[in-house]
Structure 1
Amino acid sequence: MDGLLEVVILVAVAVLGVALARRLGMLAPILLVVGGLALSFVPGFPEVHLEPEMVLVGILPPLLYVAAIETSVPAFRFNLRPILLLAVGLVIFTALVVGFVLHMLLPEVPLSLCIALGAVLAPPDAVAATAIARRIGLPRRLVTILEGESLINDATALVLLRVATGAATGAAVGFLEIGRDIVIAAGGGIAVGAVGAVIIGFLHKKITDPLLDTALSLLTPFLIVMVAEEIHSSGVVAVVVAGLYLGHRMPTLMSAASRLQSDAFWQLTRFLLEGLVFLLVGLQLRDIVRELDTPWGEVAWITAAVIGTLIVTRFLWVFPSTYVPRLIPRIRQRDPFPPVSHPIVVGWAGMRGVVTLAAALALPATSEVEYPRDLFIWLAFAVIVVTLVLQGATLPAVARRLRLPQDETTQDALAEASVQNAASKAARDRLDELAGDGVPERVLHKLRDLGEHRVNKAWERLGGEGETPSRVYGRLRREMIDAERGVFRAARDEGRIPEEVLRRAQRDLDLEETMLHRTVEE
């Protein structure tokens, strides 16, 4: 019972923290981390010990999966070069630079273990990137690049961590062994993700019950990561590959009811997990400080040196990787030079998260190699807090200061209206084909009016700021729906209809109001 009470308290605090952040106009990850730091020293507040296995197998897979299924595969493919340069090249570069800097500061610690910590600190966090980049309204392409980087970089870091710790503990590590590990981790992850996605996609296509569809969607990331880990390949890569495939094909794999229910489920799951993740990071402060056995003066300057190295290293990599490839005419013609504000924002968006702490906690506690494990864990924790609070909190101001060009909403609306026009024409053509099957004329007229209404609504978004006819329709129809609800509730209260009838009618009205919501809000 005590364990259940602690979980309820943590969830409640996370939800309140997110609500408060929205009320204050703050970024929720930052407020939750800072709140966790404060709560970690409150007497009687539950002590939560973060287990690496819980993060890497229990929390990370569903978060990566939901991020992957919402990622545009065409946009991901178009930005594959910058994504791989950041997710693979930058992680390796950062791990090596941080490793050598740390080895200079702590020459008694083997270089391989210093590089292992560099691998732990190198990857920006998927949760932080998604939660912050979308929240502050960065241009769509930058969001795609940052999310794509964060989806893949954990796999690079974990493979590098495995190789470095293996070398530190005496395992024979050569080019053949490293190459084999990479092939097994990356290649095996891709294979498991692809095969798993095909199987899960087949099951989704056969299932017609929305509840079963949603349950299968929940199980998918855990099943895939367990299979991948069983053959010692990358569960991260496997989950991302499966998520990209299934997300791209979701319109043809699941029914409309299943997609609506699954989308609502994953929104709630991500909301709760993201809140808990950042709260849990902050709550680790008390334990980490208690275990720290290094003099605070030494801790301070080593921490400052490592954090400074991480920030500088990212900029040193981002600028050349942005502009050097475009010196090739073929690449430049397809993808022209971006404004300098783009690499500045990408360079500043290096927030670390819970995976960094989980990987640090997974560092070997062995007597075979002497090293300050407590200091390494502290460095991981300090990097998370400083990058989230410093970079995460100032990223909106940096974007505004650079006058970062926003995505052109008019172009989006124009593209949507054009496609909607073509879609409505296809619908009318199909209706004309079916019109001779004894369909009443008033039904045909109503369906044609509906198609015309959708086209008009799409084109109206290109108009002025006034209230469009579609918005007037949506506003008035919502008032009518409220009146209908009142009549059904009164009939239920008076005993004229049973509860089941009320629920059925209320569900229909709720679905209609949900469809109207976009019309009223835009």
Structure 2
Amino acid sequence: MHPAANFELIIGMFLVVVGLHYLARRVSLPPAAALIVGGCAVAFVPGVQGIAIDPELVLVLFLPPLLMDGAWFTAIAPFRRHMAGILSLAVGAVFFTTAVVAIVTKVLMPQLPWAACVALGAILSPPDAVSARAVLQRVRLPRRLTTLLEGESLLNDAAGLVLFRFAVAAVLTGGFHLGAATGTFFLLVAGGIAVGAAIGGLWVALLRRLGDDTLMIAATVLVCWSAYIAAERLHVSGVIAVVTAGLTCGWFQHVVFDARVRIRALAFWQVLVFLLEAAVFLLIGLSFRGLLDRVGGLGMVVDTMARPVLLIVAAVIVARFLWIFGVDAGLTILRRIGWTRRQPLGPRAAVVMSWAGMRGVVTLAVALSLPEAMPARDLMLVTAFAVILVTVLVQGTSLGWIIRRMKPAEDGSTRPPLDLHAAETMLFRAQLAVVEREAVAADGTVIHPQLLRRYRTRATVADAFDGTAEERDVAIASHFDVIIAAVTAGRAELVRLHRAGRIDDETLHDLEHDLDLEELAAAAAKG
């Protein structure tokens, strides 16, 4: 295909993304499901060629920025607090699911070598960070469950990819050594952490010296790919390197970014992640036609592969339930005999966690990277695609309903010492202390009376409120609704004056920017 035609295809694909996202919102369908279904439909439009995905390009193009986005906004304290639970899911559940899938595959197809069965299990076992983000953005979960799912999605790809590489090597060479594999696994993880920390530290040092908004944002965007490529070149875990760099950058961005850079960087990053995330699901759908063409058509899949594929998909789903409920039961027993203080999830939360195991781009890309010599390669590709479809279209679309039915309770031990209202009150008092000091001259003359009144009001209004927390929230929302309405009216008046020729473009842009900042501040305070 001509390069210009490739570019036109990419632009057309993003136009389809916008349309499908709009349609998904109108019909209350998760965007990930709409994009996959839409991609499958577009793939069969006459004249549209099947998409051939380069698995290595998919991993290096899409995985680093989407992992970076998740790590950047990860709360460090809950992440560390629930590290044992996160590792149980990201490593334990991945290994257990791999074993279950390998056993089921071996029973269904005894002629397959064990290493090939393990390779299929490693492909299907890790839930996907992109799929998890796409679903978690649309549901409300207790803080503990959100932390566990987000942490799992950040780390489990490393375990799955390492397992896959060892299994493929065992198929091709006929040899496997558990001790060497275990040592290599920990070396890959430790190396990834070291590379990610180094890249993140370099980013912090660099941003303190750049002094230019555009350069700072560009450097921030390049961190994820720098960490991933550097780690892979050094033969350590690129996934762990990106996560470590993202956690480092997310921790220090509050001190190396000023407000202007942060607003601009966040806006740019949100658009970039939106396009990449949407492109992932659309590419999954578009690749469906190429997959069917490879294996001989839909009829061949139904006639020869339907039974083993459906049983393996069921094994993937059931394995996650078995692991989560088994670990939770063990934790309950240990707590009762006094060996641990960790709070079990409970049956309701365990159901939600078990159902939230969506697969996506990593599963597809890794399946496509299978060597041609791999036994039952076509079956593995079809199974990988079936798992993605079932988990995203069935589990992803029904997760909100499961949460509403289960109503998992919030774990009180995860709540911070201060709620939003208390923290905001302390912030206002700290600001007032500075204003009181700077607003008064050495002789006692007040030189900034308006600032003094404003900050005193902000610092004392919370203490003066006598209503309940719910009444306070309503009053605050009403207060900032008025501010937002005033900003809207001001913006309309600016446009009117500009259209009437009474102000120039520069005045319009300057005053509009001030109104934008005021509206952002009011919306954040209200929310």
TM over 0.5: yes
Aligned to 1:350: 357
2:455 aligned partner, one-letter code: L
Aligned to 1:282: 285
Aligned to 1:364: 371
- 2:516 is the counterpart of 1:513: no
2:431 pairs, out of 419, 423, 427, with 427
Aligned to 2:17: 14
1:402–1:5: structure 2 CA closer, same or farther, 3 Å change rule? same
For residues 196-215 of structure 1, what are the structure 2 equivalents within 5 Å? 196-215=199-218
Deviations 1:342-365 (A, max 9, x none): 111111111111110000000111
For 1:251 and 1:454, how far apart are their aligned partners in 2?
A: 23
For 1:179 and 1:87, how far apart are their aligned partners in 2?
A: 16
Report the CA distance between 1:86 and its aligned residue.
0.8
Aligned to 2:504: 498
Give yes or no for contact 2:440–2:448 (8 Å, CA) kept in 1: no
1:88–1:448: structure 2 CA closer, same or farther, 3 Å change rule? farther
For residues 3-402 of structure 1, what are the structure 2 equivalents within 5 Å? 3-45=6-48, 47-170=50-173, 172-293=175-296, 296-329=302-335, 334-366=341-373, 371-402=375-406
Deviations 1:60-106 (A, max 9, x none): 10000000011111111111111101100111111122112112222
What TM-score do you get using the length of structure 2 for normalisation?
Answer: 0.91
SS in 1 for 2:346: coil
Report the CA distance between 1:433 and its aligned residue.
3.2
1:442–1:475: structure 2 CA closer, same or farther, 3 Å change rule? farther
1:447–1:35: structure 2 CA closer, same or farther, 3 Å change rule? farther
RMSD across aligned C-alpha pairs, in angstroms?
Answer: 2.6
Deviations 1:3-44 (A, max 9, x none): 111111111111211111112112111111112222221112
* Aligned residue pairs, count: 515
Deviations 1:152-196 (A, max 9, x none): 010000001111111111164313431342133211101101111
For 1:360 and 1:451, how far apart are their aligned partners in 2?
A: 62
Report the CA distance between 1:58 and its aligned residue.
0.4
For 2:150 and 2:73, how far apart are their aligned partners in 1?
A: 10
- Out of 459-468 and 477-486, give the one that drifted further: 459-468
Report the CA distance between 1:332 and its aligned residue.
7.1
For 1:154 and 1:472, how far apart are their aligned partners in 2?
A: 45
Report the CA distance between 1:466 and its aligned residue.
8.6
What TM-score do you get using the length of structure 1 for normalisation?
Answer: 0.92
1:347 aligned partner, one-letter code: S
Report the CA distance between 1:226 and its aligned residue.
0.7
Give yes or no for contact 2:439–2:451 (8 Å, CA) kept in 1: no
1:241 aligned partner, one-letter code: T
Unmatched segments (≥5 aa) in structure 1 = none
SS in 2 for 1:64: helix
1:450 pairs, out of 452, 455, 458, with 455
For 2:456 and 2:493, how far apart are their aligned partners in 1?
A: 31
For 2:108 and 2:93, how far apart are their aligned partners in 1?
A: 22
SS in 1 for 2:469: coil
Deviations 1:200-254 (A, max 9, x none): 1112233332222211111000011110010111110000011112212221121
1:37–1:108: structure 2 CA closer, same or farther, 3 Å change rule? same
For 1:170 and 1:291, how far apart are their aligned partners in 2?
A: 26
Give yes or no for contact 2:309–2:383 (8 Å, CA) kept in 1: yes
Give yes or no for contact 2:498–2:504 (8 Å, CA) kept in 1: yes
- 2:442 is the counterpart of 1:417: no
SS in 2 for 1:374: helix
Give yes or no for contact 2:291–2:381 (8 Å, CA) kept in 1: yes
Deviations 1:308-342 (A, max 9, x none): 11111111111122231353349876432333101
2:381 aligned partner, one-letter code: I
Give yes or no for contact 1:420–1:454 (8 Å, CA) kept in 2: no
Give yes or no for contact 2:17–2:278 (8 Å, CA) kept in 1: yes
1:476–1:344: structure 2 CA closer, same or farther, 3 Å change rule? closer
2:495 pairs, out of 467, 486, 489, with 489
